[in-house]
Amino acid sequence: MGTVALRLTNAVKRYGHHTVLRGLDLDVELGARLVVLGPSGGGKSTLLRVLAGLEPLDGGELTRPGGASTTAMVFQQPLLLPWLSVRDNVALGGRYRANRTRYATDRAAELLDRFGLAELADARPPQLSGGQAQRVAIARAMAVRPKVLLLDEPFSALDPATRRDLRGWLRDTATRLGLTLVLVTHDVDEALYLGQTITALDGEGGLGGTWSNPEPVEHDELADHPLRAPLLASYRTPRADAVRAG
């Protein structure tokens, strides 16, 4: 087992009378790709916001056993500032005092080149395709050098061909750069393609199972993947008091 970057222990999260996380335990290992799978309303987005520090827990704790593990989050929509160029959107995090020790002025240019966006550096977000905009959003998150990159169904709004291309791009980029990823999705194929470890939520605020998936597979191998059936079987309808989970 590798170094644990983030650890949730007996995590509980409520919204009013609705309990979204019920005594959930989860480890995020440094340098690994963890995919959290579950149906809409099963608590995936809430879990990610807790890991990002955007939502406080009502019980249990979030710890960083390996030392300070900074996080950055990529949302379902790119949320780029339309009046800024691609270059300035990527550099946006460097404007905040909390990030200044982790940001260098040449970081944006380096990421634009590495992510295949250099030719679009002066473009504005309305000029970008959906896939290009989401790559800019990921580059912006990476600009502040997070230890853990959190992704909330980042490809769900894209067409199937673009989604397939970006899955390949993200896996190759994560492998090349040694990134730590936590991605939540309701898509079993996406989980099988991107995840080295796949964890399913049980629909009641806990974990329904965890599977190791260390060997990368190609898209045309997903239909016959041996984990496909157990992952599909892990899907459960969320409890009525967890429907606000996201």
- 160 contacts: CB under 8 Å, gap ≥ 6: none
| pLDDT for position 244 | 45
Residue 6 exposure: Cα atoms within 13 Å on the Cβ side: 28
CA distances 124 to 109, 189, 194, Å, are 16, 32, 29
Per-residue pLDDT of the chain (246 residues; tens, 9 = 90+): 578 999 999 999 998 888 899 999 999 999 999 999 987 778 899 999 999 999 999 999 999 987 767 889 999 899 999 999 999 999 886 655 455 555 556 777 888 998 899 999 999 999 999 999 999 999 998 888 888 999 999 998 899 999 999 999 999 999 988 889 999 999 999 999 999 999 999 888 888 899 999 988 999 999 999 999 999 888 765 554 444 445
Same domain for 99 and 165: no
| pLDDT for position 100 | 54
Same domain for 55 and 17: yes
**Nearest of 227, 212, 194 to residue 1 by alpha carbon:** 212
Pairwise CA distance, residues 183 & 195, whole Å: 8
Q: Is residue 46 part of a domain?
A: yes
| pLDDT for position 104 | 56
Q: Is residue 85 part of a domain?
A: yes
What is the residue range of 42's domain? Answer: 1-69+160-246
Here the tokens at position 12 are 């509980």
Same domain for 170 and 122: no
CA distances 187 to 27, 38, 167, 194, Å, are 21, 8, 12, 11
| pLDDT for position 129 | 94
Q: Write down the pTM of the prediction.
A: 0.89
Q: Is residue 154 part of a domain?
A: no
Same domain for 190 and 90: no
Computed from CA positions of residues 71, 176, 158, 229, in that sequence, does the dihedral angle turn out positive or negative? negative
Please give the radius of gyration of the chain, using alpha carbons only, rounded to the nearest integer. Answer: 18
Same domain for 229 and 193: yes
| pLDDT for position 91 | 86
| pLDDT for position 38 | 83
H or E stretch at 89: helix 86-90
Q: Is residue 151 part of a domain?
A: no
When divided into structural domains, the chain yields a total of: 2
Same domain for 165 and 125: no
| pLDDT for position 245 | 44
Q: Are 188 and 232 in contact (CB under 8 A)?
A: yes
Q: Is residue 140 part of a domain?
A: yes
- 18 contacts: CB under 8 Å, gap ≥ 6: 241, 242, 243, 244, 245
Q: Is residue 155 part of a domain?
A: no
Q: Write the secondary structure of 12-57 as one string of H (helix), E (strand) and C (coil).
A: EEEECCEEEEEEEEEEEECCCEEEEECCCCCCHHHHHHHHCCCCCC
Computed from CA positions of residues 200, 46, 48, 185, in that sequence, does the dihedral angle turn out positive or negative? positive
